[in-house]
Amino acid sequence: MYKAFNVQAMKFPLKHRKSGAEIYNDTKGKINNVIETFAEDGLLNAELITANWFPEIEADIFISHSRKDSDSVLSLAGWLYDTFGIISFIDSCVWGYSNKLLKLIDKEYCYNSHTGLYDYNMRNLSTSHVYMMLSVALSKMIYNTEALFFYNTQNSVTPNDIIDDDSDKTLSPWIYSELAMTNLVERRTPEKHRRLIKSMTEGREDFSGPELKVAYTIDISNLPVLNASYFINWSKIGFLNNKNAALDYLYQPVQRRRI
């Protein structure tokens, strides 16, 4: 990753959602739902599971967002592709299978057919394994993309009138993890990233109890803000289907950007 940006909530034309959906369908691949195929000598092979359920995908921009904003993010991804040929990685669409994977593992290893109940300790263990695989896969994708867009809405950042604190907070552990990773992964220049890419190419159940919510403090103060007017001006510069030029313009300091 080279840079991360704070994308203010905005609506992109619905016509671009089709392209965003096509990107999703092209990259999600065919998921193997037979958990036994990942077993070797009585052990589940984490490498095989990760390759099947959380495959690494070639993309230019990683979009971090709330799942409640998935439709809007599809339109954003479609706009980026239709305008510049930029390919986005939308984690909630491509990797929205973690809960399904968890159910398959739990059914095979955590369910007691005699009692009709799931073992609490085994469920904790299976959840930690699946979420660790997902977390590592997310980190790799952030590292492999040039830029990260944090799609900032009330679904992703908790309003201050709900939590009496001036700092930004999110209720999503995945958004927290993704934003934290922007400060930890190696910052690679676009040139280095493109050379590497070139060389490589030659769940949730219904529950009647109280909802668990954990607030994570996030720091987005260092992320340059991209608002609606920026995207409008960006599209007018003349980078149609020239994604490298469009990305290079994106990385320029605000005061040097030609509008």
Amino acid in the structure at residue 76 = L
d(CA 123, CA 103): 10
The DSSP code sequence of 26-94 is HHH-PPP--GGGGEETTEE-HHHHHHHHS-----SEEEE--GGGHHHHHHHHHHHHHHH---EEEHHHH
Residue 11 tokens read as: 């609506």
Q: 24-68: per-residue pLDDT in tens?
A: 776 665 566 677 788 877 788 888 888 888 877 889 999 999 988
d(CA 231, CA 226): 7
| H/E element, 174 | helix 173-181
The domain spans of the chain are 3-256
Q: 147-190: per-residue pLDDT in tens?
A: 999 999 999 998 755 555 667 888 888 888 899 888 888 788 88
Q: Please report how many Cα atoms fall inside a 13 Å half-sphere around the Cα of residue 38, on the Cβ side.
A: 19
